[in-house]
Amino acid sequence: MLFEEFDPLKGKTLQILDQDGKIVNDKLVPKIKKDTLMKMYHTMVLGRIADEKALQFQRQGRMLTYAPNHGQEAAQLGSIAAMDDDDWLVLAFREMNAMLYKGVTLEQSFLYWLGNEWGSRFNDDVKVLPINVPIGSQISHAAGLAYAAKLKGTKEVAIAYIGDGGTSHGEFHEGMSFASAYDLPMIVIIQNNQYAISTPREKTIKSKTLAQKAIAYGIPGIQVDGNDPLAMYLATETARERALKGEGPTLIEAVTYRMGPHTTSDNPKLYREDSEVEEWEKKDPLKRFKKYLIDKKYWTDKKDEDLHETSKKEVLDTFKKVENSGEVDLEDIFKYTYESLTPELEKQMKYYQEFLNEEGAK
């Protein structure tokens, strides 16, 4: 019923919690346990502080590069919290909040952005694929996992994330088409953060919404306020129920905003106005979720101050540990692409080792 009511062609956007933290649709409030709500908020705060510090570390020359996700916390945590431990998380590169919630450690996340391959080696019980930088191919990976789950008859669902610009890439269409044709248990979250690097969403895609792309695949699509964690939870929970019934994939468009740069190589001040950013600051997902939790008597300003302090200490201590863990071993840079090194990679590794020897490095 939810997907029929919010059919993309009706021009409606699902919202339960407005930007002031007030419930605007009582009938649709999902039943979420207090522990889950608090885990969502704690992860939001930790992710926000880690994000801000990572940007500073990169500017100080202490981190190679980084893809900020400030502003997109609810789009990720509202959706991942509706998933089960046995479900698969298949991400692009801007989903640190979803990764933290699913069991990837902050230390592993920082290791990755410092160029250490061990940042992609998760514990066996953490069903998260490594960060996928090539645009769109994660949708094919998720379709493959969902296909395997269907063949094995397990109750696993694959949830994948992609940006608005990524929906123009070939592998997005290929993965969606395959998943819909075989009724695979897959959910795709489009994080529509309004820009494909520096290009406004309106200049990259003619369709009025991204959710309506679902119509071409013959599956449900829904546009959701991506800064509303409750709405994101409800849409994903409903999509997961469909998937477990064998009814196939669902496409969810989370309308959100990237408050920072695309990556640390980008300067958004060159292509967007400060006034636009200020308007989106009023829709900050953390502020509205905090207000909701306080109104429910689950949270207080004092607890919030304490959480920010402990989270800040955790971020600083973790980064210090990662930074002091030593240089990346040369072989680690080459040996994880294939099962065994190709002749070309062996040649490159030898060449670089000789270069380091000449420079007096190890």
From the list 70, 262, 288, 292, the catalytic residue is: 262
User: Does 240 participate in catalysis according to the annotation?
Assistant: no
**Distance from chain centroid for Cα 288:** 20
Q: What is the DSSP string of 47-59?
A: HHHHHHHHHHHHH
Interhelix angle 73-80/285-295, rounded to 10 degrees, is 50
Q: What is the DSSP string of 164-206?
A: TGGGGSHHHHHHHHHHHHTT-SEEEEEEE-SEETTEEHHHH--
From the list 59, 62, 121, 271, the catalytic residue is: 271
User: Which phi and psi (to 5°) does residue 196 adopt?
Assistant: -95, 95
Cβ neighbourhood burial of 266 (10 Å; 0-12, 13-18, 19+) = middle
Pairing verdict, β 158-163 and 88-90: parallel
Cβ neighbourhood burial of 251 (10 Å; 0-12, 13-18, 19+) = buried
Q: How far apart are CA 25 and CA 195, in angstroms?
A: 29
User: Does 258 participate in catalysis according to the annotation?
Assistant: yes
- Per the CB < 8 A criterion, the answer to whether 319 and 55 are in contact is no
Tell me which residue of 179, 178, 209, 190 sits closest to 6, measured CA to CA.
Answer: 209
From the list 48, 70, 242, 258, the catalytic residue is: 258
- Per the CB < 8 A criterion, the answer to whether 154 and 183 are in contact is no
Which residues are annotated as catalytic? 258, 262, 271
